[in-house]
Amino acid sequence: MTSTTSSRTTAAGGPPGGPPPGTLPISLPARARWAVSDSWTVTRRYLIHWVREPSYIVWGLMYPMVSVLLFGYVFGSAMVVPGGGDYREFLLPGMFGMTMMFGIGNTMMGVTTDAAKGIADRFRAMPMARSGVVVGRSAADMLNSVMDLVVLVGCGLVVGWRAHGSPAETLAGIGLLLLLRFAFIWVGIYMGLIAKSPETAGNLYALLFPLTMISNAFVAPEMMPGWLGTVAAWNPLSSTVAAIRELFGNPGLGGDSWIAQNAMLMAVVWPLVIVAVFLPLSVRRYRLARR
Indicate whether 217 pLDDT > 60.
yes
Indicate whether 255 pLDDT > 80.
no
Amino acid found at 232: A
Higher pLDDT, 62 or 26: 62
3-state secondary structure (DSSP) of residue 63 = helix
For residue 168, count other CB atoms closer than 10 A to its CB.
Answer: 9
| CA distances to 48, 86, 192 from 118, in Å | 18, 50, 14
Is residue 82 within 8 Å of residue 94, measured between CB atoms? Answer: no
Is residue 139 within 8 Å of residue 43, measured between CB atoms? Answer: yes
Higher pLDDT, 85 or 245: 245
The per-residue pLDDT for 278 is 94
How sure is the predictor about 4, in pLDDT bands with cuts at 50, 70 and 90?
A: very low
Q: What is the pLDDT of residues 200-210, one digit of tens each?
A: 877 787 788 88
Would you list the domain boundaries of the chain? 60-288
The secondary structure of 126-172, three-state, reads CCCCHHHHHHHHHHHHHHHHHHHHHHHHHHHHHHCCCCCCCHHHHHH
The per-residue pLDDT for 240 is 96
How sure is the predictor about 73, in pLDDT bands with cuts at 50, 70 and 90?
A: confident
Q: What is the mean pLDDT of residues 115-130?
A: 70
Q: What is the pLDDT of residues 80-112, one digit of tens each?
A: 776 767 888 888 899 899 889 988 888 888 888
The per-residue pLDDT for 237 is 96
Higher pLDDT, 61 or 161: 161
Show Cβ contacts of residue 239 under 8 Å, excluding neighbours closer than 6 positions.
Answer: 259, 263, 266, 267, 270
Residue 289, Cα to own-chain centre: how many angstroms? 23
Q: What is the mean pLDDT of residues 37-49?
A: 74
* Mean pLDDT computed over every residue of the chain: 79
76-100 burial string, b = 16+ CB within 10 Å, else e?
A: beeeebbeeebbbbbbbbbbbbbbb
Higher pLDDT, 124 or 105: 105
Q: What is the mean pLDDT of residues 218-240?
A: 90
Show Cβ contacts of residue 128 under 8 Å, excluding neighbours closer than 6 positions.
Answer: 1, 5, 15, 16, 34, 38, 41
Is residue 259 within 8 Å of residue 266, measured between CB atoms? Answer: yes
Higher pLDDT, 233 or 152: 233
Indicate whether 20 pLDDT > 50.
no
3-state helix, strand, coil in the chain (%, to 5): 75, 0, 25
How sure is the predictor about 273, in pLDDT bands with cuts at 50, 70 and 90?
A: very high
The per-residue pLDDT for 7 is 45
Show Cβ contacts of residue 155 under 8 Å, excluding neighbours closer than 6 positions.
Answer: 64, 65, 68, 69
3-state secondary structure (DSSP) of residue 122 = helix
Q: Distance between CA 277 and CA 192 in Å, rounded?
A: 16
The per-residue pLDDT for 143 is 86
Span of 35-49, 103-117, 137-151, 259-273 with lowest mean pLDDT: 35-49
Q: What is the mean pLDDT of residues 166-190?
A: 94
The per-residue pLDDT for 158 is 81
Is residue 140 within 8 Å of residue 47, measured between CB atoms? Answer: yes
